[in-house]
Amino acid sequence: MKKKELLFVWALFASLWCGAQQPTERYPLGAYEELTDTKPHDGEEVWNKMQAPVSLAWGSIDVRYPKLSIPLETKKGTTRMSAWKGERVHAQAVLWTRQALKNVQVKVGELKNGSSVIPASAVKTHFVRYVMTDELNKDGKGGCGHRPDKTQWDSSLVADVLDIAQELDVRERCSQPIWLTVWVPSDVKAGTYKSLLTVSAEGLEPLSLPFEVKVVNRTLPSPQDWKFDLDLWQNPYAVARYYQVPLWSKEHFDAMRPIMKMLANAGQKAITASIMHKPWNGQTEDHFDSMVTRIKKLDGSWEFGYAAFDKWVEFMTEDIGLKGLISCYTMIPWALNFDYYDEATNRVVFLETKPGDAAYAEYWGTFLKDFARHLREKGWFERTAISMDERPMEAMREAIKVVRAADPEFKITLAGNYHPEIEPDLYYYCIALGQKFPADVKKAREAKGQISTYYTCCSEAFPNTFTFSRPAEAVWTMVHAVAEGYDGYLRWSFNSWTADPLRDSRFRTWAAGDTYSVYPGPRSSIRFERMTEGVQVCEKIRILREEFTRKGDKGKLSRLNKMLTKFTLEALPDGRNHPEKDVNELHELLNRL
């Protein structure tokens, strides 16, 4: 066994790592300026052909409208949406102007259906802001790989950020999309509800667009009751850096609260916890640190501290409402270096060892025995899992032996390739897009209450949720899980922000947007809203399937299952990346059945 002393100052408690990661620049939380788009766009001669200096029309939620060109695919008149009770539905309007506008504001009143009302508080509007993006790899087959030189990638501004500003100045010859969300109350009467979206600005006669929401007589449960297993990994360290607050302080938790609430409202149940320093070798702008303190005493015994881990789990459980799996990463990191504080030398030491070594078994076995004790005292043992991702099978086998020796009742999870040799040991098994569980294995896992999901990452050109991905891809990705019989979906990045995430989603590794789905502020995104829409679709499918099966309605069940075959990889023509038609047809079917 080899030991390497750290060459930099390392404090005992993990909280001090945050200070080392904080930049000198304070990044914006309120108003900010977008970067400049250098791509070709409509010139002044095109803008001067507008019949009126300012126009407002309905667009499509499937389109990212360019900032400096007159929008296409728009329509006047009424836009119509259909929803179950308890469901969120969206629309997108576009304002475009050849003159500068000051203090643009958007207002929406209550929606009325006779004496029945959807209150204005159930309606949210957001200015859609623009962030810098790039593109897939040159071969068009994915977005993985190092990108240290941004000039080698075709970059442009793209509409994605849903801003929190209540008013906004719009420059001349610009388009300004407006996102509308209606979260239908679960106790309203079925029927068609009507309202107006009105845009005003200094010196501008208000412009209005009518819209309707047809509420069908079905109810979607609250997000905390959804059965779909959504697992988007959280990064508390990114929040501490961006908001410039001490790690695990009251200010840190206050900053995280509304961000993580967005995740809970998308149906998330799992909590991401890091139990070692840099489990992914610092692959993100803000590396994950250990939420556990390890001290090797003078007499050679071990002492473990769980203060940060406990505060994080309690916050995510009690404040945010995530009461599912506590996924603890990882016994098999990308770099096989394991930290602890050595009292004998008064230093932090990294132990280099690997699964199968005696030193590895001693380091992890000692910890896991104490960790199991602590988890049982807290009442969290049954929902805690020792989690690994994308690790070789032999390394997994050796790690599983150590876990089982420490406490055979520990749950174990893996997100990675399918290995039949270790499948029975994995309570939660998430395999990559394109892989499949054998039918008999999937059935056996269901019978044992085990969870089987799939994931995407930078590898997939389609479907994906890069900032340049088509918005409907996020919906397709969720529905694909149901179409293939999975229990849910995993993605490694909810909020691992880039250095300047509001303005630039490009990263030194991977295609733009791969590392995060929501923005500081907190601000949602077109991608995240469409992903949540997809989870809602999966819940509607589950509810209808259960009803049709219970009632013996084979006709409706067959129609629904036939539609789902369009959401498989086999049904995709080569090169297809336009899922809007299938997504919209599925929406229509679910609201009609």
The predicted pLDDT at position 23 comes to 36
Domain ranges across the chain: 45-216, 226-288+306-335+354-491+526-592
Question: CA 278 to CA 334: how far, in whole Å?
Answer: 9
Q: Which residues pair with 350 in a beta bridge?
A: 4, 339
Sequence-distant contacts of 279-282: CB under 8 A, at least 24 apart: 279/329, 279/330, 279/333, 279/334, 280/329, 280/330, 280/333, 280/334, 281/333, 281/334, 281/335
Q: Are 244 and 22 in contact (CB under 8 A)?
A: yes
- How many contiguous H segments (helices) and E segments (strands) does the chain have? 12, 26
The predicted pLDDT at position 150 comes to 82
Question: CA 472 to CA 488: how far, in whole Å?
Answer: 18
- In this chain, the answer to whether the domains covering 45-216 and 226-288+306-335+354-491+526-592 adopt an identical fold is no
The predicted pLDDT at position 151 comes to 84
The predicted pLDDT at position 575 comes to 54
Q: Residue 145 has which token pair?
A: 């790989």
- Pick out the chain residues at pLDDT < 70: 1-26, 573-577
Domain boundaries 45-216, corresponding CATH code: 2.60.40.10
Q: What CATH class is the domain 226-288+306-335+354-491+526-592?
A: alpha beta
Question: CA 185 to CA 530: how far, in whole Å?
Answer: 19
Q: What is the pTM of this model?
A: 0.94
Q: What is the CA radius of gyration of the chain?
A: 25
Burial class of residue 115 in the structure, from the number of CB atoms within 10 Å of its CB (0-12 exposed, 13-18 middle, 19+ buried)? exposed
- Peptide bond just before 330 cis, omega within 30 deg: yes
